[in-house]
Structure 1
């Protein structure tokens, strides 16, 4: 509104103060008389200049408050979206995270959210301002001169149609560019996560080539998008210049003919720019809106995923540690069983070991027990209660799992061990570390338990990370503890020490040990041998080594390897 006043003041000055045209407005007439009249203003045109400067300053102040408010609103909206996204991702089931690409999720939570924020803080405000401007400018122009207004708007329908067609065509280019950026982010994330493997395998050349390929694809798709945008801006500029030219030419002709005043021509030359600018900007608005729509769609895909209900109305019984599998059947893909009608039972406080070749279904049993996946058929009972009837969060609180690939956060060792219960006493931390045979290693560090382990525990060895993860799990005194091949990175003596310490604990937990190593499972109360999702052998160590089958073959192979290692040491 403030912007529209300036051309009217210039028109009045040229036509009615410098010239002799009637003012045509009672309000302006009274205002001029109040200031001192036309003759006074004609001798003191600096007053008009000061008034124009004041209007410009006022417009600047209003724009500042508008942009500040818009930016604050957009930032708060972006924060709320990020919070909601993070909350949604935390609640998504394990199965989703197994299939999702980390780099793609990161890009959706950062780049896509920022795209929406930019649209809200800049373009959405511009759209509202442009519509307001178009309405007032059009009304003012029609009031001044209908014929000049029609000339000044002659090419605007063409710009509207061109912008609409452009938007519908370029949307796919936005999506392609966005997806290419997501793939690039994924490659970068994977490389940085596995940089030690890359260094160890001297695989830098391959990684550089892989990144370069994705980078080129992103560049090409983005360049195609830029070409489309350049075509739009070039064409729209050409049409706008034609419109400005038409306004000036026709305005000059009619001014010379005496049909309109010179001040009206000056006002229209300003107003036509005010009209063309928002219409021309509509291309940028549609461009950013296209990006925002694509980003909203990508974010909606996450929100449309079904979350995992951890705290439902299910039971929360006291768990002592009795486990029973009854004809359990499970498949990741249809008609491809991973667990095929398995039945076995574990008594509270006992130790059961599961051994078998890779892909036999050992880890899948753990996932089913912790309800990371739900079995298709059969039943799993904990202390006589059907597992699916027990609250998921309650199940996971009472089942401690030490994974094969331990994950440590970029915190101190103390914080990592106390992760599930930050308020637990340090005495309990030390006890758990001793059981995990990591206490002495920690004490040897300069800062002891306050040693910062770095991202993913990079400053610790593989065995040390596994033992910290074991301490983190057993500190909670869960009635059921599962070791998913989590002793593979420790030497045999440490393995024995950990298992003895676990057996000597008060309130001994039900323990399930998954391993490839015979020495790790040999002292279990019962050993279950899996192959292709089925139990092919079961019994204690003495029984199985004397029974022809997979366990006996593994025992013989590992014994031969052990003898070979000892011979090498003797002759070294």
Structure 2
């Protein structure tokens, strides 16, 4: 997925707008009520100048002041004004309520689609950019519904009402005012065309800022260790400066094409209308009430235009942001799913790799013709230098990525035939760096799997000996866990990940160097937990420390994506190949000589 966003064409912007409007379809009934209230409020506001025109021409100018008609005229004017205030409040509240619900649904939709993506998507997409789209961009869309759309609808209806009222007062001048509409529309189109590039640039720079912040905060220990603060501050400052420049360009454009231009057009229109009445006064009497009403309507005509022009910047930002969000929502690099109608179950957990080849980018194979099998209760260890393909084997087994060639068979059934739920429920994955969520000890083991009881949680912790440190914590299983479990030791975090894995009693256990970052204090507990977890289960373990896999039933040695050696610990040492060299480097030549002797 490309991080850089292209400027949307006119057709693409129109498509984005219609797609945004379609989100309002679910709220049709509420919108009808809101529009009805809006019509009533608009009508109440527009009748005011006509009542004043009647008062001026029918009563004030001829100096005729009958009490009862004037009282009724005043009462109607006040009632219309108060009605307009109350109705506007309720219609604005309804529009805002509908807007918030729409944005809420939009955020859920985009987040749901992100969750469905395969790991290949996240390999190529910066986390900060994703966060920016789900938060900042949807916030801009919220402004579209809350501020722009309701305002545009209200003001367009108001303009239509003003035009009708003007035609009622004087058809000639009413027609003249209609000529103003295409001029104003052309100004809006010019603004949108120029500003779209600036706002696209601003959104992209904001995504880069978020990505830079996310990367820096996640790696703060390394940043401080290698004294990279100045470099990262400079990089952040440069992107921030580019964001500022794009913002300044949009501000200059706003200052030129928004209110100043509309004010200029309104002044010219006022001069023409006054000139028209001035010329007419030479041949026929001018009704002061009509003149007052026309000037009043002209002022009211340009106020909604000004409001819409001032919100065009928000509108353009929302269209750009919506284009980015919809692009994310339309991305379909989904995680692999089952094929066919079969729904097999994993009973034993026996695994067989059949001539597997795999590539992340579609060009370079990271796995080449991999074949091996693991029976229930057996442990197969994968060893090899960095980049040899160990983690890739785990990735295709977990079906995080789609297989290119070959097949993986579990209990005699192709992996393609299993539901993801069946695979995930029966595979336990323990990573080298366990991930803990903000919450409690208990919630990190349960992971919101509500079918698990408190006794299940405690039983799993006792099984892996995690209870030994949990019960010493304040509040025990309800002890708070900070982000990523930073207040716990690496060994404690690993024991919690063991408990999280074993609580569902998986039939297949996958260990990705589960003891690499363990402190000495808890290593004994972890080794004991591993032995208990592996008993009776199919286990595939990635190992860097060869001493931890001596008892594996089979050790597979990988090099550049291929299997170069296989056998148990003793057999591989006797072959004196790559495994022998790796063991020599780790244990030292004198110890190896003693073992062989």
- Do the aligned partners of residues 247 and 177 (structure 1) sit closer, same or farther apart at CA in structure 2, a change above 3 Å counting? same
CA contact (8 A) 1:255 1:262 kept: no
Q: Which residue of 2 aligns with 1:378?
A: 406
Alpha-carbon separation, structure 2, partners of 1:209 and 1:436:
47
CA RMSD for the aligned pairs?
Answer: 2.6
Tell me the CA shift for residue 311 of structure 1.
Answer: 7.0
Q: Which residue of 1 aligns with 2:313?
A: 287
Q: Which residue of 1 aligns with 2:169?
A: 144
- Do the aligned partners of residues 156 and 260 (structure 1) sit closer, same or farther apart at CA in structure 2, a change above 3 Å counting? farther
Partner SS state of residue 588, structure 2 = helix
- Answering whether residue 579 of structure 2 is matched by residue 537 of structure 1, we say no
Q: 1:188 aligns with which of 188, 196, 213?
A: 213
- Answering whether residue 145 of structure 2 is matched by residue 120 of structure 1, we say yes
CA contact (8 A) 1:319 1:383 kept: yes
Tell me the CA shift for residue 330 of structure 1.
Answer: 0.3
Q: Which residue of 1 aligns with 2:497?
A: 469
Residue deviations 1:376-404, cap 9 Å, x none? Answer: 11121111111112222211211111122
Q: Which residue of 2 aligns with 1:520?
A: 548
Q: Which residue of 2 aligns with 1:32?
A: none
CA contact (8 A) 2:502 2:533 kept: no
Q: Which residue of 2 aligns with 1:440?
A: 468
Alpha-carbon separation, structure 1, partners of 2:196 and 2:108:
28
- Answering whether residue 205 of structure 2 is matched by residue 205 of structure 1, we say no
Q: 1:15 aligns with which of 28, 41, 57?
A: 57
Alpha-carbon separation, structure 2, partners of 1:314 and 1:412:
39
Alpha-carbon separation, structure 1, partners of 2:537 and 2:190:
68
- Do the aligned partners of residues 496 and 321 (structure 1) sit closer, same or farther apart at CA in structure 2, a change above 3 Å counting? farther
Aligned length: 546
Partner SS state of residue 481, structure 1 = strand
CA contact (8 A) 2:555 2:569 kept: yes
Q: Which residue of 1 aligns with 2:198?
A: 173
TM-score (norm 2): 0.85
1:244-393 equivalent positions in 2, closer than 5 A:
244-255=270-281, 258-306=284-332, 307-308=334-335, 310=337, 313-393=341-421
Q: 1:236 aligns with which of 239, 262, 268?
A: 262
Q: Which residue of 2 aligns with 1:110?
A: 135
Residue deviations 1:447-492, cap 9 Å, x none? Answer: 3222212011111122322221122112211110001122101146
Tell me the CA shift for residue 166 of structure 1.
Answer: 1.8
Tell me the CA shift for residue 428 of structure 1.
Answer: 3.6
CA contact (8 A) 1:354 1:514 kept: yes
Q: 1:86 aligns with which of 97, 111, 115?
A: 111
- Do the aligned partners of residues 265 and 191 (structure 1) sit closer, same or farther apart at CA in structure 2, a change above 3 Å counting? same
1:206-225 equivalent positions in 2, closer than 5 A:
206-225=231-250
CA contact (8 A) 1:435 1:471 kept: yes
Alpha-carbon separation, structure 2, partners of 1:407 and 1:468:
10
- Do the aligned partners of residues 346 and 466 (structure 1) sit closer, same or farther apart at CA in structure 2, a change above 3 Å counting? same
Tell me the CA shift for residue 173 of structure 1.
Answer: 1.5
For structure 1, the 5+ residue unaligned runs are: 22-37, 564-572
Alpha-carbon separation, structure 2, partners of 1:185 and 1:263:
59
For structure 2, the 5+ residue unaligned runs are: 1-42, 592-597
Q: Which residue of 1 aligns with 2:484?
A: 456
Tell me the CA shift for residue 310 of structure 1.
Answer: 4.8
Alpha-carbon separation, structure 2, partners of 1:424 and 1:153:
69
Alpha-carbon separation, structure 2, partners of 1:511 and 1:440:
25
Alpha-carbon separation, structure 2, partners of 1:499 and 1:353:
15
Partner SS state of residue 355, structure 1 = strand
- Do the aligned partners of residues 147 and 359 (structure 1) sit closer, same or farther apart at CA in structure 2, a change above 3 Å counting? same
Alpha-carbon separation, structure 1, partners of 2:464 and 2:229:
36
- Do the aligned partners of residues 199 and 430 (structure 1) sit closer, same or farther apart at CA in structure 2, a change above 3 Å counting? farther
Residue deviations 1:14-62, cap 9 Å, x none? Answer: 11101239xxxxxxxxxxxxxxxx53249x9677555433322211111
Alpha-carbon separation, structure 2, partners of 1:372 and 1:157:
55
Tell me the CA shift for residue 318 of structure 1.
Answer: 3.0
CA contact (8 A) 1:314 1:391 kept: no
